[in-house]
């Protein structure tokens, strides 16, 4: 069976789905590995490196013709058009927020397997958990970016030229990315506080060095599968108001809050921004085309408010550390692929919880329960209730095709 890696085409994307180290593992399992020429160059991985590991360097069209095509993100228009019935595609396809892509892949007879649908609480799926590996990288980079942009030191410094007090950093959302941001800011010497709407994260945040903030106006909001649930309008308003006081006492704020299948919740309002001291920095990891965790943040841009607050729209940080991110992703996707392969061929078992979790389309139909009933035709994937099955109804302004990364 031929497995290929294609070059990513999304703007700013520098990662690649396999690194040379992973090629050897796949070959040892009897798979032939094709790599599109230049696929790894933006992560400093050369064609020669892949060839030495046993891959064959091929053109884009040959790579897109393999039995299984591996990607980081979603295929572009041309790639979708090139895929044929019987092929499999594995990548972070964000099927919950891109039902059109799902419907097209189903109609083309492509087996779509989504890395961002891996059941994360399944112990044997943990080596495949690309959401966690990439969130870890993003959390680390967010703290580094915050420190780089901040006009003062993170650590306490006592020098002959004076004493610098440590930066006060606040991390909002203490999932995988938030915990890594806390740990990184702490290692840089900052005094770190953190808040999450799921109270069970308190001990985790404390264990990596943060003081956990508990709000009195909002109760616990733990949802299904270890994620947060969306807040009601009243809860959201109360949370924003109470958070504003805490935000104003911090120099650097890193926001990571997400609710699966929805636009990121707004945590830092215009009023909260106005109460911050000039020179403060916010890194908004939730920044997306539909808005992020911070009022006025723009994805991929740095905005300076009239009150002197720098807001960095940092929704796509893993691509800025392409070598580390590709190495981790390659381990995730190889582990999944090797689990799906038996005797050198794809062997998908709908009764296997892991397989059922990741396979989105198969045999011309949308088969994932979160998107459509198992027997439904592909076009039913476009209906909104399918998204609601997984994560509750989208917010009225959430749109359908974009939003959070899953």
Piece of 158-166, 190-198, 272-280, 368-376 that binds ligand NAD (CB under 6 A):
190-198
Compute how many residues bind ligand NAD; rule: CB under 6 A: 29
91 is a site residue for ligand NAD (CB under 6 A)? no
Q: Which is nearer to ligand NAD, 224 or 363 (CB)?
A: 224
130 is a site residue for ligand NAD (CB under 6 A)? no
Catalytic residue of the set 4, 87, 114, 132: 132
With CA atoms as reference, report the closest residue to 18 among 67, 51, 62, 61. Answer: 51
Q: Which is nearer to ligand NAD, 75 or 264 (CB)?
A: 264
Piece of 161-169, 222-230, 343-351, 394-402 that binds ligand NAD (CB under 6 A):
222-230
- Could you tell me which residues come within 8 angstroms of residue 193 by beta carbon, excluding any fewer than 6 positions away? 168, 169, 170, 171, 210, 211, 212, 213, 246, 250
Catalytic residue of the set 59, 61, 126, 277: 126
Q: Which is nearer to ligand NAD, 97 or 174 (CB)?
A: 174
Piece of 166-174, 208-216, 320-328, 334-342 that binds ligand NAD (CB under 6 A):
166-174
- Candidates 82, 257, 290, 391: give the one binding ligand NAD (CB under 6 A): 257
- Could you tell me which residues come within 8 angstroms of residue 198 by beta carbon, excluding any fewer than 6 positions away? 174, 220, 221, 222, 228
147 is a site residue for ligand NAD (CB under 6 A)? no
- Compute the distance between CA of residue 154 and CA of residue 14 in angstroms, rounded to an integer: 29
- Compute the distance between CA of residue 239 and CA of residue 259 in angstroms, rounded to an integer: 15
Q: Which is nearer to ligand NAD, 262 or 362 (CB)?
A: 262
DSSP alpha helices (H): ranges in 53-197? 60-63, 77-82, 99-107, 130-149, 176-187
Secondary structure letter of residue 230 according to DSSP = P
Q: How far is the CB of 406 from ligand NAD (least distance, A)?
A: 8
197 is a site residue for ligand NAD (CB under 6 A)? yes
- Compute the distance between CA of residue 80 and CA of residue 100 in angstroms, rounded to an integer: 11
- Candidates 4, 87, 97, 258: give the one binding ligand NAD (CB under 6 A): 258
247 is a site residue for ligand NAD (CB under 6 A)? no
Which residue matches tokens 């009150």? 307
Catalytic residue of the set 14, 104, 120, 198: 120
Q: How far is the CB of 238 from ligand NAD (least distance, A)?
A: 11
C-beta of residue 12 within 8 angstroms of C-beta of residue 323 = no
Q: Is 329 labeled as catalytic in the residue annotation?
A: no
Burial of 96 (C-beta count, 10 Å sphere; 0-12/13-18/19+): buried
332 is a site residue for ligand NAD (CB under 6 A)? no
With CA atoms as reference, report the closest residue to 359 among 88, 167, 154, 155. Answer: 88
Q: Which is nearer to ligand NAD, 120 or 141 (CB)?
A: 120
Piece of 46-54, 169-177, 275-283, 355-363 that binds ligand NAD (CB under 6 A):
169-177
CA distances 405 to 115, 142, 193, 288, 387, Å, are 11, 17, 26, 9, 13
72 is a site residue for ligand NAD (CB under 6 A)? no
Q: How far is the CB of 120 from ligand NAD (least distance, A)?
A: 4
- Compute the distance between CA of residue 6 and CA of residue 39 in angstroms, rounded to an integer: 6
Compute and round to an integer the Cα radius of gyration of the chain: 22
Piece of 42-50, 194-202, 320-328, 354-362 that binds ligand NAD (CB under 6 A):
194-202
196 is a site residue for ligand NAD (CB under 6 A)? yes
Q: Is 140 labeled as catalytic in the residue annotation?
A: no
- Candidates 14, 198, 250, 331: give the one binding ligand NAD (CB under 6 A): 198
- Candidates 61, 121, 211, 277: give the one binding ligand NAD (CB under 6 A): 121
- Compute the distance between CA of residue 285 and CA of residue 283 in angstroms, rounded to an integer: 6
| Continuous segment of H or E residues that includes residue 342 | strand 341-342
Q: Is 120 labeled as catalytic in the residue annotation?
A: yes
Q: Is 227 labeled as catalytic in the residue annotation?
A: yes
With CA atoms as reference, report the closest residue to 316 among 297, 333, 332, 335. Answer: 297
Q: How far is the CB of 239 from ligand NAD (least distance, A)?
A: 6
- What residues act catalytically? 120, 126, 129, 132, 227
* Residues making contact with ligand NAD (CB under 6 A): 120-121, 126, 129, 131-132, 135, 172-178, 196-198, 201, 226-228, 231, 256-260, 265, 267
């Amino acid at each position: 069976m031929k497995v290929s890696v294609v070059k990513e085409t999304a703007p700013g994307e520098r990662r690649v789905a396999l690194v040379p180290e992973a090629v050897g593992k796949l070959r040892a399992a009897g798979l032939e590995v094709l790599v599109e020429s230049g696929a790894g160059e933006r992560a400093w991985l050369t064609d020669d490196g892949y060839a030495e590991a046993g891959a064959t360097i091929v053109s884009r069209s040959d790579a897109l013709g393999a039995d299984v095509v591996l990607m980081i993100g979603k295929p572009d228009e041309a790639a979708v058009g090139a895929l044929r019935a019987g092929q499999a595609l594995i990548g972070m396809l964000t099927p919950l927020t891109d039902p059109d892509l799902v419907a097209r892949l189903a109609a083309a007879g492509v087996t779509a397997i989504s890395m961002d649908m891996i059941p994360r609480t399944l112990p044997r799926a943990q080596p495949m958990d690309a959401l966690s590996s990439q969130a870890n990288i993003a959390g680390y980079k967010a703290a580094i970016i915050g420190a780089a942009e901040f006009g003062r030191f993170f650590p306490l410094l006592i020098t002959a030229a004076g004493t610098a007090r440590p930066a006060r950093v606040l991390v909002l959302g203490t999932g995988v990315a938030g915990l890594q941001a806390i740990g990184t800011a702490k290692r840089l010497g900052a005094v770190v506080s953190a808040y999450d709407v799921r109270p069970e994260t308190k001990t985790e945040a404390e264990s990596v060095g943060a003081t956990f903030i508990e709000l009195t106006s909002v109760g616990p909001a733990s949802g299904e599968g270890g994620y947060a649930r969306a807040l009601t309008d009243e809860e959201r308003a109360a949370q924003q108001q109470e958070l504003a006081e805490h935000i104003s006492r911090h120099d650097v704020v890193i926001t990571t809050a997400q609710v699966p299948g929805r636009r990121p919740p707004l945590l830092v309002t215009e009023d909260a921004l106005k109460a911050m001291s000039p020179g403060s920095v916010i890194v908004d990891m939730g920044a997306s085309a539909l808005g992020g965790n911070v009022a006025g943040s723009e994805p991929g841009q740095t905005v300076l408010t009239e009150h002197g607050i720098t807001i960095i729209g940092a929704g796509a940080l893993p691509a800025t550390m392409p070598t580390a991110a590709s190495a981790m992703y390659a381990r995730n996707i190889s582990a999944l692929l090797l689990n799906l392969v038996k005797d050198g061929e794809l062997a998908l078992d709908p009764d296997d919880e892991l397989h059922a979790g990741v396979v989105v389309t198969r045999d011309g139909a949308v088969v994932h329960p979160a998107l459509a009933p198992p027997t439904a035709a592909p076009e039913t994937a476009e209906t909104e209730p399918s998204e609601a099955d997984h994560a509750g109804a989208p917010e009225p302004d959430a749109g359908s095709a974009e939003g959070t990364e899953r």
